[in-house]
Amino acid sequence: FVEVTLNYGFEALGSGNYSGHIKTTFTNLNAQPASTPVPVAPPCSSDNNDIVMVMDTSLSMLDPWTGGANRQSKLVQTAHTFIKKLKLSAAGNHVAIVGFNASARTYSGFTSNMVTADNAIDAMVTSQGTQYAKGIDEAGNVLKSARPSANHVVIFMSDGLDNDTQDQKYSDSANGPYVFGALSRINNLNDLYSVGINPNSDNMSLLSNMPRGVGFFSDAKSPGALQQAYDGIAAMISCQ
C-alpha cells in the first residue's frame, strides 16, 4: 500500500494576490526497515598452510588452572585437538612445533604426519624464563624451510610477561625492542595469531599488538576459552 499526504500552503504576494503550493509525500507502507548487514565470515585461506606453533614452556605453565590441571596439560590437550582439525596431508597443511622459555627449541620441523606432531607436543619441557623474541626468532628459522607456495602462519602463545629486557641481542631500535625486532627479521611471514593464557595488563598489551596479516589476539582466561581460541584459528587458516 502507498500512503499519499498532501500539504497545502499559501504565500501573500501583495495587492490581494496569493501564491499557492502543494507538497505531496508518498510513503510505501509495505517497505521493511533497513537492517544491519550480518557479517559474513571470511573464507578459509586454503588447505596449503605451513604453520609454526610457538608455545610458552616457562615454569609458570605448571601453575594450576581451572579444574585442578595445570596450564601446560591444558595447552597440550588443546594443541592435540588443534592438530587434528588441521587435517595434515603431504600436499596440504604442515605444522611445526616450537617451545620457548629462557631459550627456544624446535621440537619438530614442518611435518604432515600427525603422530610426529603429537609426539613433539608431548615432548615439550618446561624451564625458567619467558623470552618472546627467542620464540619468534626460532619460528623465523623454521619458516626458512617453508614451502614457497604455502601460506606461512605463526601461532604464538604465552601465559607470562616477556622478560627479554636484559638480552641486547634482541634490541632493534629501528623496529622496536625485542619481540618486534624479531618479527621484523621474518621476511616470509603471512599471518600471526597470538593467544594469552590469563593475560594481565602488561603482557596483554604486547600480545595484542603482535598479530600480522589476518591474525588476531585471543584472551584465554579459562581452558574452555583456550580451546575456543585455537578452534577459531583453525577455522580461519584451514578449510574445515
Instruction: Write the pLDDT tens digit of every residue in 51-70.
Output: 999 999 999 999 988 777 89
231 class by beta-carbon count within 10 Å (0-12 exposed, 13-18 middle, 19+ buried): middle
Torsion of CA 233, 84, 221, 229, to 10 degrees: 10
pLDDT-above-90 percentage for the chain: 55
* Res 173 pLDDT > 50: no
pLDDT band at 225 (very low <50, low <70, confident <90, very high): very high
Region 204-213: what's the mean pLDDT? Answer: 87
Region 10-28: what's the mean pLDDT? Answer: 46
Query: What is the pLDDT, as a whole number, of residue 22?
Result: 45
* Res 168 pLDDT > 80: no
Q: Which has the higher per-residue pLDDT, 155 or 239?
A: 155
Encoded amino acid at 66, one letter: T
For the ranges 112-121, 170-179, 202-211, 230-239, the lowest mean pLDDT is seen at: 170-179
Query: What is the pLDDT, as a whole number, of residue 44?
Result: 53
Say if CB 172 and CB 184 are below 8 A apart.
yes
Region 190-218: what's the mean pLDDT? Answer: 86
What average pLDDT is seen over the chain? Answer: 80
